[in-house]
Amino acid sequence: MTTLLQIKSSVFSDYGNSTAMANEFVTRWKAAHPDGKVVVRDVGAEPLPHLSADRVKSFFTPPEARTPDQQAHADASQELIDELKAADVIVLGVPMYNFGIPSTLKAYFDHIARAGITFRYTANGPEGLVSGKKAYVFAARGGLYKGTPADTQTPYVISFLNFIGITDIDFVYAEGLNLGDEQKKTALAAATDAIGALAL
């Protein structure tokens, strides 16, 4: 059975434009994969804790030496990693907040970036251990950023996903959403067309 993992990061949850785009794709994917499984994690509605010294220490402490709190931190991270590794398709809804990704999505990335588990260092450099997956990124922006130095999201998301082994990535953008109703309507219509053209 094919599994799709959808990560929502908008503070507006299903009312966010990035989530609406991702939901449209997931609806189409489900129609094409009626026996497929969809797992949803909404880090906007249920934020993960940002990394702390205690959490980082728990990741590097051998299991037999962890305190109960450290084990709980490690277990929470491992749950996210197991969920990611079990998925065949990854769908990310990514709004732009103040020129970057939501801090809740960054926290998610921080929890799944684990040396020896999702990546490892080798004599030839880092090697991602989460391979064989397809990722779709649905990016919603109030302004026009694609292809400009102000688009910090695209290279960062690509770099992070590549780092853990996910290299097959498609992006769909809806931009200028705060530049007037006509621009928003046009941008969302173009995004819907782009979603319809994606390989499922």
Residue range of the domain that includes 48: 3-196
Check whether 168 has a pLDDT greater than 90.
Answer: yes
DSSP state of 118: T
Provide the CATH number for the domain around residue 30.
Answer: 3.40.50.360
Question: pLDDT tens digits, residue range 86-100?
Answer: 999 999 999 999 999
pTM value? 0.96
Burial-class residue 138 by CB neighbours within 10 Å (0-12, 13-18, 19+): buried
How many domains would you assign to the chain?
A: 1
- 3-class secondary structure, 189: helix
Tell whether 97 is in a known binding site. Answer: yes
For 198, phi and psi rounded to 5 degrees?
A: -70, 145
Question: pLDDT tens digits, residue range 13-40?
Answer: 999 999 999 999 999 999 999 999 999 9
Tell whether 23 is in a known binding site. Answer: no
User: Confidence class of residue 199 from pLDDT cuts 50, 70 and 90?
Assistant: confident
Tell whether 10 is in a known binding site. Answer: yes
Tell whether 99 is in a known binding site. Answer: yes
Question: pLDDT tens digits, residue range 72-128?
Answer: 999 999 999 999 999 999 999 999 999 999 999 999 999 999 999 999 999 999 999
Check whether 130 has a pLDDT greater than 90.
Answer: yes
Closest CA to 40 of 18, 10, 8, 16: 8
- Percent of the chain exceeding pLDDT 90 equals 98
Residue 21, amino acid: M
